[in-house]
Amino acid sequence: MLCCGNGTSAANAQHFAASMINRFETERHGLPAIALNTDNVVLTAIANDRLHDEIYAKQVRATGHAAMCCWRSLRAEIVGTSSRRWKPP
């Protein structure tokens, strides 16, 4: 699962991904999850090239797959750009 958020929702995305990997309410096998808003180097490198609308799309494309994406409090055009521009390898 690929998660992302803006502002406080970025922290929520990170917490959700951590809960999927470790455990939520009961002990279980971890589920694959990544919060796309956690790597400041990646975020600022993409934004530095004036590609703000590509911050998440580039990361989704780089993973090569996206079984499920979730987000909260992001402008619809950013999420739309990310989902429309992702193409399977």
Rounded CA separation 14/11 (Å): 5
User: Mean of the pLDDT values across residues 60-82?
Assistant: 61
Alpha-carbon torsion angle 24, 30, 32, 36, nearest 10? 50
Query: What DSSP string runs through 36-82?
Result: TT--HHHHHHHHHTT-GGGHHHHHHHHHS--S-EEEES--HHHHHHH
Under the banding of pLDDT at 50, 70 and 90, the label for residue 22 is very high
Instruction: Output the pTM of the full model.
Output: 0.70
CATH entry 3.30.200.20 includes domain 2-85? no
